[in-house]
Homo-oligomer: A and B are copies of this chain.
Amino acid sequence: MNTRDKIMDVALNMFSERGYEAVSIRDICGEVGIKESTLYYHFKNKKDILDSLIEKFRSHIDGLLTHVDEITEMPPQKKGKKHDDISLKMVDSYMIDSYLFDPFCNLMLRLMMIEQFHNEELRVLYEKTLFTDPYEIQMSVFKKLATTGVFPEKEIEWIVKEIHSYMTMLTFKYLLNGELTKERKKAYQKEVHDFMTRRFIA
């Protein structure tokens, strides 16, 4: 990892734990192992580090959304196929691994959680990535499933709301609370699985 990336990495770890303002250039440089003056070769100023992190997060998210779009716009599976095949796999595997469980994304979510109350740009991004986008993704997935006749059209809205609220709550409870340990990840996955099983299988 080159110096610039190391700075961003260290900065994100610190920002997401203590907040942007509470972290000093000294703190970052001390951890990276460079002098403070060196940091200014790589970044214009402190704000520039944060902006670069946000930019990186945005393109990461754009990649995810593009990927999800490709999946949901694929021609529908044959009728009668088990409903969870596509939807649950997508939700479970893709979004969880590359988004909620991804270290970079997870730290960015924490940072947004911390900074949202006095940074409008981050507040909007926070609302979008934690509430709006996941809801819309679920909706497009279930709408597609509806075309296969698995669910009646008019029930979709509430089904999605139920799933979305459950997963959102679990996200805050397990993934945006304390350190992101293996135990918390497993607890999250277990609760998601139990919910899905009861709701759609049992």
Contact = CB atoms under 8 A, between A and B. Distances in A.
A22 interface: yes
A118 B178 contact: no
A192 to B, nearest CB: 11
Contacts of A18: 21, 117-118
A16 interface: yes
Of A114, A127, A158, most B-chain CB atoms within 10 Å: A114
Nearest to A130: B172
A164 B191 CA distance: 14
Interface string A125-149: 0110011000000000000000000
Contact of A117 (B17, B116, B118): B17
Residue among A123, A158, A165 with the highest chain B CB neighbour number at 10 A: A165
B16 A117 contact: yes
Interface in A86-141: 110, 113-114, 116-118, 123, 126-127, 130-131
Contacts of A169: 164-165, 168-169
Interface string A65-102: 00000000000000000000000000000000000000
22 contacts: A17-B117, A18-B21, A18-B118, A19-B19, A19-B21, A19-B114, A22-B22, A110-B117, A113-B114, A116-B178, A117-B178, A123-B177, A130-B172, A131-B173, A161-B195, A165-B168, A165-B169, A165-B170, A168-B168, A168-B172, A169-B169, A172-B172
